[in-house]
Amino acid sequence: MGEASGVALWSAVVLAGLYHGLNPGMGWPLAVSAALMERRPSALARSLALLGLGHFLAMAVVLLPFSLIGSLVQWEMTIRLVASGIAVGYGLFLLLSRSHHPRYLARVAPHRLVWWSFLAATAHGAGLMLLPIFLSMNQMAMDGDHGAMMRLVGENAAPAVFVALVHTLAMVAAGALLAVLVYRWLGVKAVSRTWFNLDVVWALSLLLVGLLSAAQALWW
């Protein structure tokens, strides 16, 4: 049961990364735009790498503090419930706020892409989707080997960094797939004509992750 749960949690980390990467709001159209404007395929890879770095930093900023707080075992359930509540609350906010995406098919200077990606992921609450999953991983690890987990968290918060890294690699892979497809065959005009908005799906995903995590903390 524990092994199956671990596989499910890691699968959720990867799937969340793929989902974020496919969402235009995480920036892959900017990579396409940069490559088309510079007329160099290398600009596509460079832009995707910078977007990935910004996304990774946004994930780490959310996960690292909770990895340290999570070492306080006596507050474990409270921490997980608060994290779940934050995810649910932000999901409801996105669902009810009727906000509109700006046009992402514009040029952002390469040195600003990391900062743009960081802000975009933060504004979308992308890290909040990972947080309940990460805390569930922490709990499983502590149940299995409490001493080892405490040492790992206390030394360098490696679990949070690793989760953020795996998630970001999946995100970049998914974004790169769409970016190459658009750059090689479809072009920016096709994206602008078929623009799709995943805000509702994003908000519902936050709600689902938060509610499932709260249920797990309370009953499992």
Q: Are 138 and 159 in contact (CB under 8 A)?
A: yes
Using CA atoms, how far apart are residues 123 and 177, in angstroms rounded to an integer?
Answer: 24
Q: SS3 for 21-86, per residue?
A: HHCHHHCHHHHHHHHHHHCCHHHHHHHHHHHHHHHHHHHHHHHHHHHHHCCCHHHHHHHHHHHHHH
At residue 96, what is the residue type? L
Tell me which of 214 and 2 has the higher pLDDT: 214
Average pLDDT over residues 54-75: 78
Predicted confidence (pLDDT) at residue 48 exceeds the cutoff of 50: yes
Average pLDDT for the chain:
77
